[in-house]
């Protein structure tokens, strides 16, 4: 997830540099790539959150089962 986030920021910087150098097509393409990478990063983060919540639920059920014994 973090790799995609860092790559997204890198492509944003490349986009700003390209637009500053008046290379509009390159700036637009690099910004589009940055947006796609950020979306991928957020989707991976969402999946990691789902996995974490599932693991916490399992742990809480296990603790609750031990408490009732």
Q: Are 31 and 11 in contact, with CB atoms under 8 Å apart? A: yes
For range 15-42, the mean pLDDT: 97
- Give 69's pLDDT tier (boundaries 50, 70, 90): low
Full-model pTM: 0.82
Q: Are 44 and 4 in contact, with CB atoms under 8 Å apart? A: yes
pLDDT value of residue 23: 97
DSSP string computed for 8-48 = HHHHHHHHHHHHHTT-HHHHHHHHHHHHHHHHHHHHHHHHH
Sketch the domain layout of the chain as residue ranges. Answer: 2-68
């Amino acid at each position: 997830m973090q790799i995609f986030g860092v790559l997204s920021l890198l492509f944003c910087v490349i986009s700003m540099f390209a637009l500053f150098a008046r290379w509009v097509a390159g700036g637009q393409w690099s910004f589009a790539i940055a947006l796609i990478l950020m979306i991928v990063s957020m989707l991976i983060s969402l999946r990691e959150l789902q996995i974490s919540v599932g693991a916490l639920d399992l742990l809480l059920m296990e603790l609750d089962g031990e408490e009732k014994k």
